């Protein structure tokens, strides 16, 4: 059942069972290593997979998860990637144990594992990404800038090929994790349960009253009730823009719909620019979550 050496090349050809082993290793590490923020490296693994993918440019076909060029200094040092070395270091022992998997496939598998282990929807996985060298690093500025608004979001995500509904569905990932003053300059979590995938982000956007936070840091919002939660200017654009807000309303009301749409759009994100075998398109695999 497990992968074997190809008869023609001698190269190890992994099977689903081998990817499941990698998945289980990451899941076990997530369980064991709880010295990150709210007790889980899950959110920062999701962010690594997103920033690896979100550099994609549909016009030139450059960027995207097929390359893992964030390993190299120019891209790893882009302001938007501050702090993601934590996620890459977390995965180093996994790469050492399973040297046959590319970094590009590993980072996406880790993002999927984190989402599923944090009780999110099942995300189909297709391997096949190849690591590229330093020359494939993308220029700075392809990832979104949190201080901007609706036009910027449509510009950045439109360049990847996403529409309004997909932008709003992807943004629900901000149910997870938090901002760090030593990374982005922003501070705090979006929700009260930053290590569980929920539709709370949308509910809070609609039901909380959000005021500008009074502080010396970059402009961000805080909730009126507890002053412990935050929203970025780009998050608030999803309720001030009518076309975006329709989708916020839908996802706030219906968590199952959010799960379904989030699974579809994150699969699209993770596969931008990945050249799968044209004839088979490779059947996506479902990797089994551990506990839940």
Question: Which stretches of the chain bind ligand ZEM, using CB under 6 A?
Answer: 43-44, 46-47, 50, 83, 144, 146, 153, 170-171, 173-174, 176-180, 183-184, 186, 232, 234, 266
Cα–Cα dist 134/131, whole Å: 10
* Cβ contact 17:287 at 8 Å: no
User: 35 or 278: whose CB is closer to ligand ZEM?
Assistant: 35
Nearer to ligand ZEM (CB atom), residue 37 or residue 254: 37
Shortest Å distance, C-beta 237 to ligand ZEM: 9
3-state helix, strand, coil in the chain (%, to 5): 45, 5, 45
Task: Give the H/E segment covering residue 188.
Answer: strand 188-189
Q: Which helix (H) or strand (E) holds 226?
A: none
Least distance from ligand ZEM to the Cβ atom of residue 145, Å:
6
Min CB(265)–ligand ZEM separation in Å: 8
To ligand ZEM, the closest distance from the beta carbon of 190 in angstroms equals: 9
* Count of helices and strands (H, E) across the chain: 11, 7
- By beta-carbon proximity to ligand ZEM, the closer residue of 18 and 91 is 91
The least distance separating ligand ZEM from the CB of residue 27, rounded to whole angstroms, comes to: 17
* 216 SS3 class: coil
Question: Catalytic site residues?
Answer: 51, 190
Integer angstrom CA distances of residue 222 from 114, 171, 186: 27, 18, 11
Edge-to-edge strands, sheet with 221-223: 210-212, 221-223, 230-231
Q: Give the nearest residue (CB) to ligand ZEM.
A: 177
Nearer to ligand ZEM, 78 or 178 (CB): 178
In whole angstroms, give the CA distance from residue 90 to residue 95.
Answer: 10
Give the residue with the Cβ less far from ligand ZEM, 76 or 83. 83
**Strand 221-223 versus strand 12-13 pairing type:** unpaired
């Amino acid at each position: 059942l497990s992968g074997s050496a190809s008869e023609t090349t001698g190269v190890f050809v992994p099977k689903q069972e081998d990817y499941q082993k990698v998945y289980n290793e990451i899941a076990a590490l997530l369980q064991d290593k709880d010295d990150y923020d709210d007790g889980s490296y899950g959110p920062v693994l999701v962010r690594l997979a997103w920033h690896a993918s979100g550099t994609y440019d549909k016009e030139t076909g450059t960027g995207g998860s097929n390359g893992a060029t964030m390993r190299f200094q120019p891209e790893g040092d882009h302001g938007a990637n501050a702090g993601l070395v934590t996620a890459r270091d977390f995965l180093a022992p996994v790469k050492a144990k399973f040297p046959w998997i590319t970094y590009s496939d590993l980072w996406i598998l880790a993002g999927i594992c984190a989402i599923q282990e944090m009780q999110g929807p099942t995300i189909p996985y297709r391997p096949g990404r190849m690591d590229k060298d330093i020359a494939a690093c993308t220029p700075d500025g392809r990832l979104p800038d949190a201080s901007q608004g609706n036009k910027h979001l449509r510009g950045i995500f439109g360049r990847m090929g996403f529409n309004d509904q997909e932008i709003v569905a992807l943004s629900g990932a901000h149910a997870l994790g938090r901002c760090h003053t030593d990374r982005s300059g922003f501070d705090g979590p979006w929700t009260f349960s930053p290590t569980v995938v929920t539709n709370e982000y949308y509910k809070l956007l609609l039901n909380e009253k959000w005021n500008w936070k009074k502080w010396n840091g970059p402009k961000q919002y805080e909730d009126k009730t507890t002053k412990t939660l935050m929203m970025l200017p780009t998050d608030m654009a999803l309720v001030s823009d009518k076309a975006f807000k329709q989708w916020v309303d839908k996802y706030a009301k219906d968590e199952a719909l959010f799960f379904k749409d989030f699974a579809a759009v994150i699969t699209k994100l993770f596969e931008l620019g990945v050249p799968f075998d044209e004839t088979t398109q490779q059947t996506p695999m479902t990797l089994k979550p551990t506990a839940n």
